[in-house]
Amino acid sequence: MLTTQYSAWFLPLCLLVGAGYAALQYAARAPWGRRLNYALAALRLAVVSFLCFLLLGPFVKSTTTRTEKPTVVLAVDNSQSVELFTPKNALTQATAGLARLADALRAKGFAVETRTLTPGRARPDALRFTAASTDLDELLAGTRAAYDGRNLAAVVLLSDGLANRGRSPAAADYTFPIYAVALGDTVPKRDLRLTDLAYNRVAFSGNKFPVEAELAFEGFAGGAATVELREGPRVLESRRVALPGGRRRVKTAFQITAPTPGKHRYEVRVVPQPGEFTALNNARPAFVDVVKGKLRVLLAGAAPHPDLKALRAALHTNDNFDLTLAVAGVAPLRPGADFDVAILHQIPALGGLGNDILAQVQARRVPVLYVVGAQSDLAAYNRLGAGLAVRPQGGQTDAVTPLPNPGFTRFATDAEAARRFAQYPPVAVPFGDLRLGPGAEAALWQQAGRVPTQRPLLVFGGPAGARRATLLTDGGWQWRLSEAVAHDDRPEAYDRLVVRTVQLLTQNARKKRLDAYPTQDAFNTQDDVTLAAETYNAVFERIYDQKIDLVLTGDSQRVRHYAFGNAPDGAPLHLGALPAGRYRYLARATLGGQPQEDAGELLVQNQPLEALESKANPNLLAQLARRSGQRLYFPAQFEQLTQDILKANYKPVISSDEDLKDLINLKWIFFVILAFLTAEWAIRKYSGSV
């Protein structure tokens, strides 16, 4: 439709201007005939009138109408448990019924799409039940996100109701109708399975530690089962466990003497019995990191202070620390005391308090965390070369809260910890000139009120081979106390910050120029295994984008080769999913012309999540369907399901878009006008006009 920005009453004026211009041009006698004169006048009238018309801002308004079919998504739980525990005829009936449902709905004008737990496109007649875990909430919430703003009519959920990952779908709120189809078997199978292993993931060489196994059983009540503890092919211990009637679970425990330091893989296994449905859930691994001994930590203060109690409580949350407490003039440090890392609270202090403790720490050349407070001698601290220079302005202080530095990658601060940090009460820090030394990094910045700054609060630095850290406040006890009050006596963010600081100080005391490490203690077989790497120049400053070659060797002696670079954003090397076992890696890089290498181990464990529970949970599916206004179906009821969806009378969605296009922006109009003017000029020249 053609319309203008100004009133249509101006159109006669445009014609009048065109007519006047044509009359003025062609009213006089011409060397050509009258008919040609009228034709040229009409041509001039049309061109001038149209140019005037363009001044009115004409535009073309077009409307495009689209019809979007109602979409039904077939959300299929293609996990291993469905194929493992669903009777074969019922599973065949369900997949065939799903394909017929899709054909019937398409024939009635529906769009039908299939989504599964695994990425990629799927067809109802070509389903593969191979997913190693089940996250029904991700399947349904992902569907909601993928079809946001589209005509999603309903979701047909085909599942056994067994979710072993993610949030329970019963706790979520979905905005679309759910037609649930129940698979699986509600009749318990004769089965023995290990449901849980409890053990310390870190043990000390030569010490004994327990491994407690929980055994669940169906159909074997009154009998007994043989449970073995293995390390590789070797059986370390075997015992008979009674399976009493009236119960479904029993526990048994093994005592292991920790061997030489390193990562060790153990396995607890239930020997399969005749008539047992499956042996896939009869074994579970235990990965134990055996260390040489506890890390000896010296916590020393210039005077009694509530901060000392907060730091001690945080360190006691980790069993790997052996703590020694010393307070100048109250609980002196005995000469020759042995420790691996020191936390010096307000030492060096004004008046020389604690100088004897400082002397012993310096003599042992161990990593140190300095906690600066009101009693600290900042001039003496600056002479220690801890990676931070503090030049105060008189006795002024700032009141700040901790703010994680996103560029600090040596340990991560999760979103929950950052949220808790923001709720901490402000504490006093020295106000003045704060300067980081070469190679020093801030793990925490200062936030003054609501204003984030890049003034350091927690700094890691110091000379090569002698790691140092500095916390610029002695009010941390207020943080721990307020967090404990707000979170049911669980100040996890503060405790984790203290523990990680001490661990980082002692992690790499010899300051390797190439440091490669797995991003978590252990991976599962379905996880993407990742390794991170840090590289340093000759003065131990972080450098990036270095080429690193990695050789990974598994228990089977298969060797895998990788090459990657350590990007400034801290992105790790993705190795993908790996089979269960212990892997040794060797990383090599050339830094500043010098070859560097680092070695270590990573663990991948196999947890057969899909075999742990054989009894289907149709109640969950019925709850989801009922909450969305629908009902539960079974594989034999696909005809009824098809009829119910069609009876719901889901309608197409008709939408229209208006498109406004200014006439003056159409290029072809320019060429038409140019053609008219050229034609007039050519006719006049041809007919003898000057």
- List, for residues 540-560, the tens digit of each pLDDT value: 667 888 999 999 998 878 899
Query: Which residues does residue 368 pair with via DSSP β-bridges, in sequence order?
Result: 342, 468
The two three-digit tokens of residue 136, written as one number: 């029904």
Enclosing H/E stretch for 58: strand 58-68
- Domain range for 11: 2-64+659-686
- Are residues 101 and 172 located together in one domain of the fold? yes
| pLDDT at position 299 | 95
> Quick one: 451 and 469 in the same domain?
yes
Task: Name which residue leads in pLDDT, 355 or 200.
Answer: 355
In degrees rounded to 5, what are phi and psi of residue 378? -70, -30
Over residues 203-212, the mean pLDDT reads 82
Is 405 contained in some domain?
no
What is the pLDDT averaged over residues 82-86?
A: 86
One domain, residues 533 and 637 = no
Instruction: Give the ranges where 65-183 is alpha helix by DSSP (H).
Output: 80-85, 88-107, 136-146
Distance of alpha carbon 339 from its chain centroid, rounded?
Answer: 38
Tell me, yes or no, whether 329 and 477 share the same domain: yes
pLDDT at 509: 47
- Is 313 domain-assigned? yes
Same domain, 457 and 364: yes
Classify 175 as helix, strand or coil. coil
278, 84 Cβ separation under 8 angstroms? yes
- 196 vs 218: CA distance, rounded Å: 16
Same domain, yes or no: 673 and 534? no
Confidence of residue 562 (pLDDT cuts 50, 70, 90): very high
Same domain assignment for residues 383 and 519: no
Residues 6+ apart with CB under 8 A from 182: 159, 160, 161, 616, 618, 621, 622, 632, 633, 634
pLDDT digits (tens, 9 = 90+) for 249-303: 899 999 988 888 777 888 899 999 998 888 878 888 887 878 777 788 999 999 9
Predicted local distance difference test score (pLDDT) of residue 507: 65
The enclosing domain of 100 has a CATH number of 3.40.50.410
Q: What is the pLDDT of residues 111-160, one digit of tens each?
A: 999 999 888 778 887 888 888 888 898 999 888 888 888 889 999 999 99
Q: How many CA atoms lie within 13 A of 264 on its CB side?
A: 22
Whether 114 is in a domain gets the answer yes
For residue 664, being part of any structural domain is answered with yes
Tell whether 620 and 584 lie within a shared domain.
no
pLDDT at residue number 166: 80
How far is the CA of 81 from the CAs of 143, 166, 298, 544, 558, in angstroms?
Answer: 22, 17, 52, 45, 30
Please report whether residue 48 resides in a domain: yes
Alpha-carbon span 340 to 292, nearest angstrom: 13
Secondary structure E strands in 87-222: 111-116, 152-159, 178-182, 191-199, 202-204, 208-218
Question: Where a domain ends, among 272, 291, 310?
Answer: 291
Asked if the model's pLDDT at residue 466 lies above 50, the reply is: yes
Residue 87 lies in a domain: yes
CATH number at residue 309: 3.40.50.880
**pLDDT score at 538:** 66
Is residue 392 within 8 A of residue 432, CB to CB? The reply is yes
Q: In the structure, what pLDDT confidence band is assigned to residue 573 with cuts at 50, 70 and 90?
A: confident
Position 510 scores a pLDDT of: 45
**How far is 348 from 376, CA to CA, in rounded Å?**
6
Identify whether 509 is part of a domain. Answer: no
Indicate which CATH number applies to the domain containing 528: 2.60.40.2950
Query: What one-character DSSP code corresponds to residue 9?
Result: G
pLDDT for 482 beyond 70: yes
The domain boundary, picked from 245, 260, 291, lies at 291
Q: Given this model, what pLDDT does residue 150 score? A: 87
Shared domain for 375 and 466, answered yes or no, is yes
Mean pLDDT, rounded, of the chain: 86
Question: What percent of the chain stands above pLDDT 90?
Answer: 38
Residues 158 and 248 placed together within one structural domain of the fold? no
Q: Are residues 480 and 551 in the same domain?
A: no
Q: What is the domain count for the chain?
A: 5
User: What CATH number is given to the structural domain containing 238?
Assistant: 2.60.40.10
Residue 663 lies in a domain: yes
What does 552-571 look like in DSSP terms, one character per residue? EE-TT--EEEEEEE--TT-P
CA distance 545 to 534: 10
> Residue 52 pLDDT > 70, yes or no?
yes
Per-residue pLDDT tens over the stretch 173-195: 888 999 999 998 887 778 898 88
Using one digit for the tens of pLDDT, what is the confidence trace for 502-521?
888 886 544 578 888 888 76
Q: 182 and 195, same structural domain?
A: no
**Which of 48-52, 423-427, 464-468, 683-687 has the weakest average pLDDT?**
464-468
Which positions ≥6 away from 68 have C-beta within 8 Å?
A: 150, 151, 652, 653, 654, 655
Q: Which of 499, 531, 546 is the last residue of a domain?
A: 499
